Structure 1
Amino acid sequence: MRELLYRLKDRYHLGTPTFQRDDLTFVTVKRDELRAILTELRDVEGFTHLTFLTAVDWIEEGLFQLTYMINNREANQSLGLRVMLTREDEPGATTGDTIHDLWPTAATYQRELNEMFGINFPGSPRVDEEFILEGWTDLPPYRRDFDTLAYSQQTYRERPGRGRSDPKAHMQETLYPDYPKPREAAHAHKEEAK
């Protein structure tokens, strides 16, 4: 993997790589170079499989991080390309670049990221159609400024909490109610010994 990254670094701006394992590396790339890097990795370097595309909301830094995980099956290597996008407060205002023409499965990931984070991917098929959250009108729920507690309190009725019990005692009472409890059994043995 190091050789590959050195070769790419000659032509592209790469951040400092993170070698997570021998077969897994992450590196940050510039947004305007992403398509060229992905195309080269797919067509020349054997990274033919898009494993997933996901996002992280770095609200404190005002950024979304997209991670494109691609895999070279022959070499048993996975590479995560991270791209940072400016995080806009208005859902749909943050835009990423569609890669559905490189990997058709990316369209599904892009629909999910649009719905759950409010990241738009103009030109991606069906990106504006409801996907998981049918009828959802609130802030996208994976954004960190979405208040899950307030949403739950407004949407669901309150119910009493669960009681706590000792698992060992619960199993004893539920599964073996006729067996003597450990202390009782120990006391019985002492009595028999007398």
Structure 2
Amino acid sequence: MRDLIEKLTPRYTLGNATYQRADLTFVDVTRDELRALLLELRDKEGFTHLVLLTAVDWIEEGKFQLTYMINNREADQTLGLRLYIDRNDAEGDTIHDIWPTAATYQRELREMFGIAFPGSPRVDEEFILEGWTDMPPYRRDFDTLAYSQQTYVEREGRETHDPRATMKHKMYPEG
């Protein structure tokens, strides 16, 4: 995979490369070069399968990390392209025309993180969270406890146990 990164580096602004395993590498890319790079990797380098498109919320840095995982089945190689976008103006470029399955990932990221993908099919339609009106729940500033307390009625007879004490009691009942 190092050979591929070295081959691409003269034409693309590639950032930090992380060689996770012999068959798995991650590399930082810029937004303005993403589409051309994805097309070259698909059409010339054999990365014909979009495995995953996901996001990480780096709230402290004010960024989202989009990771495009693509796979070259013949060479048994997976490449993760990491793209950082502004968290406050979270918008990515649609790639559904390159890999149609990307439309589904983009719909999920829109709903769960609030990342827009203009031009992606059905991206603004409800997908998983029908009737959801709160902030996107995968954002790190979404308060799950407050949401739960505001949305659901506390039921009598329900007890909360410290997980550490409960497991200790189950594993060592007489200790």
TM-score (normalised: structure 1): 0.82
**What is the CA distance between 1:155 and its match in structure 2?**
1.0
* Secondary structure of residue in 2 paired with 1:60: helix
Cα distance in 2 for residues equivalent to 1:162 and 1:138:
26
Unaligned runs of 5+ in 2: none
Cα distance in 2 for residues equivalent to 1:94 and 1:85:
6
Cα distance in 2 for residues equivalent to 1:23 and 1:31:
25
Cα distance in 1 for residues equivalent to 2:32 and 2:121:
21
1:92-131 superposed matches below 5 A: 93-131=89-127
**What is the CA distance between 1:169 and its match in structure 2?**
8.0
**What is the CA distance between 1:102 and its match in structure 2?**
0.2
Unaligned runs of 5+ in 1: 171-194
Tell me which residue corresponds to 1:59.
59
Tell me which residue corresponds to 1:167.
170
Distance 1:8 1:148, change over 3 A: same
**What is the CA distance between 1:161 and its match in structure 2?**
1.9
Identity of aligned residues (%): 73
Which structure: larger Rg?
1
**What is the CA distance between 1:44 and its match in structure 2?**
0.2
Aligned partner of 1:53: which letter? L
Cα distance in 2 for residues equivalent to 1:140 and 1:36:
30
Cα deviation code 1:38-97 (max 9, x no counterpart): 000000000000000000011110100000000000000000000000111xxxx42100
TM-score (normalised: structure 2): 0.91
For the aligned residue pairs, the C-alpha RMSD in angstroms reads 1.6
Which segments of structure 1 move beyond 6 Å, counting only runs of 4 or more?
none
Cα distance in 1 for residues equivalent to 2:97 and 2:118:
13
* Secondary structure of residue in 2 paired with 1:108: helix
Cα distance in 2 for residues equivalent to 1:26 and 1:51:
14
Count of residues in correspondence between the two structures? 167
Cα distance in 1 for residues equivalent to 2:44 and 2:3:
14
